[in-house]
């Protein structure tokens, strides 16, 4: 199965509310990244958090990392219609290999 | 616009055929990655090149091959196509290699095998 798995698979919230997505992974990691994908388009990098960091902010995005639980969360505050997209976490496998492994994503739909 | 270009945008072909997908990385980026995205498998890493040499391999089938040329553009060749190869194929690039690098994705090539 996937190194990183997002939860929930799909999420619908009202515009203005906060959206929280979670990612769990299996092996130790060096970094964890979050990407966004608008329907049928390429992924866009949002934020990278290193294994020695616990929290990181970027605008309306807040990412946390709990290496003891092998999990990360992405919080989008004050959601907007433009936030409607799929969100993926991507992790390495803690080795020298350059591969990053993407989860299957959370589909976020912001309702007007 | 990420600066990564992919051609063609859409490709419709028949089973058993061979196609070539092309990717031009962002100016200055030395690493190129190929991914396959299908509904049931999600985004699967296929292969990575750095400055013309293969650096990492993922779930790439033997029927698929890739290369990166001296001008750093890359091509993904898919042969003996099967219905299950229908998917979105993304190319991404980064400045260097390593899991800390931000990958910049192209718009993708949508392949439909009939």
How confident is the model over B10-66, as pLDDT tens digits? 999 999 999 999 999 999 999 999 999 987 778 899 999 999 999 989 889 999 999
What pLDDT score does A5 carry? Answer: 82
Longest dimension (CA), chain B: 39
Sign of CA dihedral B25, B74, A90, B39: positive
A chain contacts of residue B87, beta-carbon cutoff 8 Å: none
Interface check for A105 against chain B (CB to CB < 8 A): the answer is yes
- Contact between B24 and B5 under an 8 Å Cβ cutoff? The reply is yes
pLDDT band for position A60 (50/70/90)? very high
Strands B5-7 and B19-24: antiparallel
3-class DSSP state of A76: strand
Q: How many CA atoms lie within 13 A of B62 on its CB side?
A: 0
Distance between CA atoms of residues B11 and B76, nearest Å: 13
Residue A12 burial (CB count, 10 A): 12
List all residues 6 or more positions away from B18 whose beta carbon is below 8 Å from its beta carbon.
B77, B78, B79, B80, B81
Interface check for B39 against chain A (CB to CB < 8 A): the answer is no
Better-scored residue on pLDDT, B48 or A92: B48
B chain contacts of residue A87, beta-carbon cutoff 8 Å: none
What pLDDT score does A96 carry? Answer: 59
């Amino acid at each position: 199965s996937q190194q990183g798995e997002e939860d929930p698979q799909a999420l619908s919230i009202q515009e203005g509310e906060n959206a929280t997505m979670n990612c769990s992974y299996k092996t130790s990691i060096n970094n964890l990244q979050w990407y966004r994908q608008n329907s049928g388009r390429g992924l866009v990098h949002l934020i990278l958090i290193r294994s020695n960091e616990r929290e990181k902010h970027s605008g309306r995005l807040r990412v946390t990392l709990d290496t003891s639980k092998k999990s990360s969360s992405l919080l989008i505050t004050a959601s907007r219609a433009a936030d409607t997209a799929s969100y993926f976490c991507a992790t390495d496998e803690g080795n020298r290999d350059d591969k990053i492994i993407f989860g299957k994503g959370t589909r976020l739909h912001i309702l007007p | 616009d990420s600066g990564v270009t992919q051609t063609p945008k859409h490709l419709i072909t028949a089973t058993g055929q061979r196609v070539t997908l092309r990717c031009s990385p962002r100016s200055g980026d030395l690493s190129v990655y190929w991914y396959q995205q299908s509904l049931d498998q999600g985004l699967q890493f296929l292969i990575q090149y750095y400055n013309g040499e293969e650096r990492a391999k993922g779930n790439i089938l033997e029927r698929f091959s890739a290369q990166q040329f001296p001008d750093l553009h890359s091509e993904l060749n898919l042969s003996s196509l099967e219905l299950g190869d229908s998917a979105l194929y993304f190319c991404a690039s980064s400045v260097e290699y390593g899991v800390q690098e931000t990958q910049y994705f192209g718009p993708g090539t949508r392949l439909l095998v009939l």
